[in-house]
Structure 1
């Protein structure tokens, strides 16, 4: 795996360990959780996932494709649900899925933070996926996602709409209307043209070679910024030392540092330098 890539990230958590400790002791409770984790491992392996962290009833996994992550989630839920109760206590699990940036071979980074947040908001026996992941499902897998986004006080605070995932949650024949952004953001850097769209909802910029747009200028950070496709449009999020300079035609230039801005376009982005400079590393953007 390269240093930074966009992948489908899954976080699974086994629930019920503490209740079992009180009844059976820590050793037997640990064995029961391990049986659940073994079933989860088989679902991951069977669907091509890679485990990057596994401890204390938690598993963090990366998948190349969102379809595989959703199928693995459904299989995990079924496998764990089929286990008999232990001393009258049924162990269960919850899952969070998100499509975003993974940092190397570790379970760190904002993408995993979102997946963990979704897992923590899931009910026992439930899997929740961000709209970023659901939008990348193929037609043959979309029926595993709910037809409508779930709304409650906590989920509505997230940047993405959230959908339930499971064998019988609903039938989706197209990308959920509330998650769809019909437009695309076109970016031009030197001779390369890239799009932020349904197939690529997150784009990374920086000096590191693993980025989608590699900036050569020394004023840019290794992981300088990212652009996300959200419900409200295309958002640039700065995570750099020197800031991102965004010039939108008719609006003027703004320096964004540890903050975000809507790219309403057309305009230019300077990674660590003014977007008004004559610079070969400028990134030009417009909405098409």
Structure 2
């Protein structure tokens, strides 16, 4: 039974933690509320489909999810150009901090794996699924499973600017 008064909104304790799996087993990376025309017709707004979009990995092939603050970025394996992280505005993931290089690191898909290529002065710290932290400086590291990337500083000193990564494999 719903105990709310008419017109009252539900109150939630906090924002959901993305990504998570919904009841159908699909990955949820953002709020998927259906947009409805405010005039009350119950018809979806023009240009908005009420059928959910297929998951990004359904086309076959690996993909990588990157989470930084409120941004969720999907990097497919078929991407031709490398994914660039840094503080320059032209980067794919921009983190405007002084200890991060303008073009700090690249992520490429090579030989069936996602590889982080560091090209910075301060290095990149990678925490893998086992919890071990590795510093990559002017080198490369294979991203497997899930973990955290910290650009320019150790993980403990870079709390708000950690990048969570999750490698997904194709559905068979």
Residue 136 of structure 2, aligned match among 256, 259, 271:
256
Q: Does 1:242 align with 2:144?
A: no
Summarize deviations over 1:74-99 as a string: whole Å, max 9, x none. xxxxxxxxxxxxxxxxxxxxxxxxxx
Q: State the SS of the aligned residue for 2:164.
A: strand
Q: In structure 2, do the counterparts of structure 1 residues 243 and 190 end up closer, same or farther at CA, with 3 Å as the change threshold?
A: same
Question: With structure 1 as the length reference, what TM-score do the two structures score?
Answer: 0.36
Which one of the candidate residues 79, 93, 105 is aligned to 1:225?
Answer: 105
1:278: Cα distance to partner? Answer: 5.2
**Counterpart Cα distance in 2 of 1:286 and 1:276:** 20
Worse overlay, 244-253 or 231-240: 244-253
Q: Does 1:197 align with 2:89?
A: no
Residues 100-249 of structure 1 aligned to structure 2 (within 5 Å):
182-201=61-80, 202-249=82-129
Deviation of 1:190 after TM superposition, in Å, equals 1.1
TM-score normalized by the length of structure 2: 0.58
Structure 1 Cα separation of the partners of residues 77 and 112 of structure 2: 14
Report the Cα distance in structure 1 between the residues aligned to 2:78 and 2:62, rounded to whole angstroms.
12
Equivalent pairs, count: 108
Secondary structure of 1:268's counterpart equals strand
Q: Write out per-residue CA displacement over residues 37-91 of structure 1, whole angstroms, 9 at most, x where no aligned residue.
A: xxxxxxxxxxxxxxxxxxxxxxxxxxxxxxxxxxxxxxxxxxxxxxxxxxxxxxx
Superposed CA offset, 1:104-139 (max 9, x none): xxxxxxxxxxxxxxxxxxxxxxxxxxxxxxxxxxxx
* TM-fit CA distance, 1:183: 1.6
**Stretch of structure 1 that moved more, 195-204 or 256-265:** 195-204
Q: CA RMSD in A?
A: 1.6
Deviation at 1:251, TM superposition (A): 4.2
Distance 2:69 2:153 in 1: 16
Q: 1:272 aligns with which of 145, 148, 152?
A: 152
Higher relative contact order (CA 8 A, sep 6+): 2
Could you tell me which residue of structure 2 aligns to residue 69 of structure 1? none
Deviation at 1:224, TM superposition (A): 0.2
- Consecutive unaligned residues of structure 1, counting only runs of 5 or more, are 1-180
